[in-house]
Amino acid sequence: MVLRYQGFLMTTPAPSPAPATPNAAIAPDRIRTAMGWMHTAHFLTSAPQLEHLPAFDLPEIAFVGRSNAGKSTAINTLTQQHRLAFASKTPGRTQHINLFGVGKQKVDDAVLADLPGYGYAAVPREAKLRWQRVMGNYLMTRENLRGVVLMCDPRHGLTELDEILLDVIRPRVEAGLKFLVLLTKSDKLTRAEGAKALSIVRLQAGGGEVKLFSALKKQGVDEAAELLWRWAHPES
């Protein structure tokens, strides 16, 4: 069951940023391996809809979430590249499904997918419906989909469209699809706000992984990279 917590941080005063904390739990060599792997990311292809995406026989990890949540920025941060995915202040910037190959020694062993954001009010109705079709089709039928990273700005909370997305992927998560919620732009939260957002969304995610993430302060980057590496290499 998905509970609402929309706006739970809306009334808090202007925050002082939560500092990035080093992650003591993950061995440094695992982080090095994951970050080195991520850094190999390179553009593969871009398509306006699922039918135009090539089928790959590699585990694919999709970044989804509201427009402006920080999906493209997170991909750039995780891959330590400035302009791999196109990030912008203007919501609705990513309009295609963009695929990036990842793998050492020039052999791809996984794919990252940057998906168009949803929920931007100024988008015409027809474009919103198109998004729903593209996302729904992708999330339900993409055969090589191994994991989904839901990017959520905790200042806005999970929106109705996030909840629809959670409903859409729930059967696949129950069947083994990996799932991570990244609470983005955590540099805009105080430590207390960050802790509160984490505990609420952990409840909502039903025990699934939830992490604070800041591209600006590099918070949560090592942990997220290491988790995605494990998703793509379950045998290791």
Ligand X SMILES: Nc1nc2c(ncn2[C@@H]2O[C@H](COP(=O)(O)OP(=O)(O)OP(=O)(O)O)[C@@H](O)[C@H]2O)c(=O)[nH]1
> In the chain, at which residue ranges do the beta strands (DSSP E only) sit?
42-47, 60-65, 97-102, 110-114, 145-152, 178-183, 209-212
Between 59 and 117, name the residue whose CB sits nearer to Mg ion.
117
CB 148 within 8 A of CB 62: yes
Between 204 and 214, name the residue whose CB sits nearer to ligand X.
214
Is there binding between residue 188 and ligand X (CB under 6 A)? yes
Q: Which of 79, 94, 159, 184 binds Mg ion (CB under 5 A)?
A: 94
Instruction: State which amino acid sits at residue 172.
Output: R
Alpha helices (H) in 107-217, listed in sequence order = 125-141, 160-174, 191-204
Residues 6+ apart with CB under 8 A from 36: 104
One symbol per residue from 103 to 142: x for binding ligand X (CB under 6 A), - otherwise; what is it? -------------xx-------------------------
Interaction partner, residue 159 (ligand X, Mg ion, none; CB < 5-8 Å by kind): none
**Of 8-16, 26-34, 68-76, 132-140, which segment contacts ligand X by CB under 6 A?**
68-76
Burial class (CB in 10 A: 0-12, 13-18, 19+), 174: exposed
Minimal distance, residue 73 CB to ligand X, in Å: 3
Burial class (CB in 10 A: 0-12, 13-18, 19+), 202: middle
Minimal distance, residue 216 CB to ligand X, in Å: 4
Is there binding between residue 145 and ligand X (CB under 6 A)? no
3-state class (DSSP) for residue 168: helix
Binding site for ligand X (CB under 6 A): 65, 67-73, 87-89, 91-94, 116-117, 184-185, 187-188, 214-216
Binding site for Mg ion (CB under 5 A): 71-72, 94
